Amino acid sequence: MIENQTARAEVLPLTGLRFVAAFLVFAFHIHIRWPLSETPWLDSILSEGAVGMSVFFILSGYILAYTYAGRDFSLRSYFTARFARIYPVYIAAGILALPWLAIVLKDGLLGLARGFALVVANSLMIQAWFPQLFGYWNNPAAWSLSVEAFFYLLFPFLIVWLQKLPVRALVAALILAYCLSVLPGFVYAVFEPRPEPALAIFYAMPIFRLPEFVFGISIYLLRNEFRRLSLFGGVAAVALLAYLALFGHLLPLFVLHNWIAVPLIGVVILGLARGSGVLAKALSTRPAVYAGKISFCFYMFQFPVIFGALQLRKYFEMDAYSAFSICFVSLTVISIMGYHLIEEPFRKSIRSHGAKLDVPSFHSA
């Protein structure tokens, strides 16, 4: 039972990285509604901020492998921990977004049918499998939690299989995961007719984002083989930003950047996990780590904050920087409250209750 083993130490720079990714996605969501800059290179970075989702998915695979690889654990303990980690905040964010669900319900019987479908799909975290649902309810955050739920479901079986592979086979699995992460965007770019909605299919559907998660698991299992590569984490971070600044605007779909974003993000994570270098030290500071801890709330509560600001814009003139400042401060305050009043208390309570019922049953060693 994993709760009875000594917990592995938190990798502080990777906690800090979570907020960097959440902030990049937040800035992207603001920029597409209130353009923050017309400077070409900065506009290109901000417009491609959705690449931050690849950071989340690869990092998720890496951290789960770090937590569970080489250990015995029960499926009950694992799924209880995953449920406790995301569901309370997920439900809170959905409740805050209920006013926008009411918009759907105005369409009579059709609205009621749509509302029922949305509530069922979102409650079960399967909405990302239905492209038509992408633009409804808690859209800026909920789809990615549906993707994460799919990852979580498969992880216990993936980790058992992957860590039994010899190094060469694991490298092959890593390369395959990379190729499959690139393939959806490549197919979208070179084949016609292109299905619509492309964003909801190629960008948001769980099966197309699974390879990034497997890539994250694989780089953790191969971390000792990539020790020299980890020296270039800071260089990889700069290279990714430079690529987005110079070429990001040339590609029409965010996952088209995976050909370079996925390996560079992998090197960044390896470098931060190593713990040395300027970037790792910066992300290990107390403010950066705390920001990382509240980053899940920061990400999940974007929808009501941003769309609330959009409603205010109907009554008050707001330039881009005013909108950004109002949303950032409001979201930070809500995130701090959400972390201390919802995320942490419910996580501890649920995991404590689950531990009392747990029986060891799953072996990853």
pLDDT at residue 315 in the model: 84
Angle at 93 between CA 344 and CA 346, to 5 degrees: 20
What pLDDT digit, counting tens, does each position of 265-317 carry? Answer: 999 999 999 998 999 999 999 999 999 999 999 999 998 899 889 888 888 88
Q: pTM above the 0.85 mark?
A: yes
Give pLDDT, residue 140: 64
What is residue 310's predicted lDDT score, i.e. its pLDDT?
87
At 325, list the tokens: 């400042």
Establish how many alpha carbons lie within 13 A of residue 148's alpha carbon, considering only the half-sphere containing its beta carbon: 24
| 3 — pLDDT class (breaks 50, 70, 90) | very low
Beta-bridge partners for 124: none
Q: Where are the domains of the chain?
A: 2-353
pLDDT at 345: 97
Instruction: Convert the pLDDT of each residue in 129-139 to its tens digit.
Output: 999 999 887 76
DSSP for 297-342, written as a single string: HHHHTHHHHHHHHHHHTTTS---HHHHHHHHHHHHHHHHHHHIIII
Angle between helices 167-190 and 206-221 (to 10 degrees): 150
Return the higher-pLDDT residue of 335 and 3: 335
Strands (DSSP E) along the chain, which ranges?
72-73, 362-363
Amino acid 314: pLDDT: 80
- From CA 85, how far away is CA 64, in angstroms rounded? 12
| Tokens matching residue 174 | 């890593």
* The pLDDT value given to residue 102: 81
Mean pLDDT over 319-347 rounds to 96
pLDDT of residue 205: 96
One-character DSSP codes across 46-104: HHTGGGHHHHHHHHHHHHHHHHHTT-EE-HHHHHHHHHHHHHHHHHHHHHHTHHHHHHH
Residues forming beta bridges with residue 362, ordered by sequence position: 73
Please give the share of the chain, as a percent, with pLDDT higher than 70. 94
Cα–Cα distance, 22 to 296 (Å, whole number)? 8
* pLDDT value of position 141: 77
The position carrying tokens 């690869």 is 58
